[in-house]
Amino acid sequence: MNLTVLEEHKSHGGRQIKYRHYAETLQSEATFSVFLPDTAAADAPTPLVWWLAGLTCTDDNFSQKGAFQKYAVEQHIAFVMPDTSPRGTDVADSEDWDLGQGAGFYLNATHAPWQTHYRMYDYLTNELPAIVHPLIPHFSGQESIMGHSMGGHGALILGLKNPKRFQAISAFAPITHPSAVPWGQKAFTAYLGANQEDWQAWDATSLIAHSDGPPPILITQGTADDFYETQLVETDFLAAANEAGASVSYETASGYDHSYFTIATFIERHIAFHQQYFA
């Protein structure tokens, strides 16, 4: 493994570090960022939260706009921020902003021309953890996951597919039922094909309906989110969660939109949510 440090910044007594490596799973170069709380004066076990970003984003968006570092240091939690898709001149792409590079949807593609590189699920469940875990001093072995929009979809499906790995799941404005909304239908048709039965393995509403002991879930949704009515309606997901007896707290934030201003406002709440399950 050839791991290169691209940037490092001190923040609130912790270190924000950006890395590049060649990802065998993605067959491309990949970047990711890690935030490590200061462990110089303490040997306390350090849990890890995964942050998955939304459409068009990279690993930089949350590290630069999420305003989480202060709270991560206070709670002694490390964070990792992967990119949202494979990248490169030889990686399939689209002229549309909501498909291709920057829009990997955190799944394993099965259809051409995407299947060679677009294997974000395998990358996040196998290859990247093996790289990240050794980077965390005094790693406790405990993990949880959160994300925004497409990344909220990613956090839900990774958490629901791996309930023994993740202590908790949280999301800002997630795509909870991608099979029923334009963003998900477009991506799933391209990456997985037209057979909607194949989509269900990557749809949080279907996954929670068939879940057995899923992690607790917190969702924050702004009422002024322009994407809410067309892409982010939660009704089907909450009904399926209720039927399955899952623990889901769905909170609306009056007047807040789809931006990182909303995430920065409520990130302390989300970190505290995860911390209680680490404790």
* Domains along the sequence of the chain with CATH: 3-276 (3.40.50.1820)
CA distance linking residue 168 with residue 249, whole number of Å? 12
pLDDT tens figures, 6-19: 999 999 999 999 99
Mean pLDDT for 158-176 is 98
pLDDT tens figures, 227-276: 999 999 999 999 999 999 999 999 999 999 999 999 999 999 999 999 99
Q: How confident is the model at residue 207 (pLDDT cuts 50, 70, 90)?
A: very high
Q: Looking at residue 43, what is its pLDDT?
A: 76
Q: Looking at residue 258, what is its pLDDT?
A: 98
CA distance linking residue 78 with residue 69, whole number of Å? 9
Q: Looking at residue 39, what is its pLDDT?
A: 67
For residue 107, give the nearest of 193, 22, 9, 28 by alpha carbon. Answer: 193
Q: Residue 245: CA atoms inside 13 Å, Cβ hemisphere, count?
A: 2
pLDDT tens figures, 123-159: 999 999 999 999 999 999 999 999 999 999 999 999 9
CA distance linking residue 159 with residue 168, whole number of Å? 7
Mean of all residue pLDDT scores within the chain: 96
Q: Looking at residue 170, what is its pLDDT?
A: 98
Residues with catalytic annotation?
149, 225, 258
Q: How confident is the model at residue 1 (pLDDT cuts 50, 70, 90)?
A: low
Q: How confident is the model at residue 195 (pLDDT cuts 50, 70, 90)?
A: very high
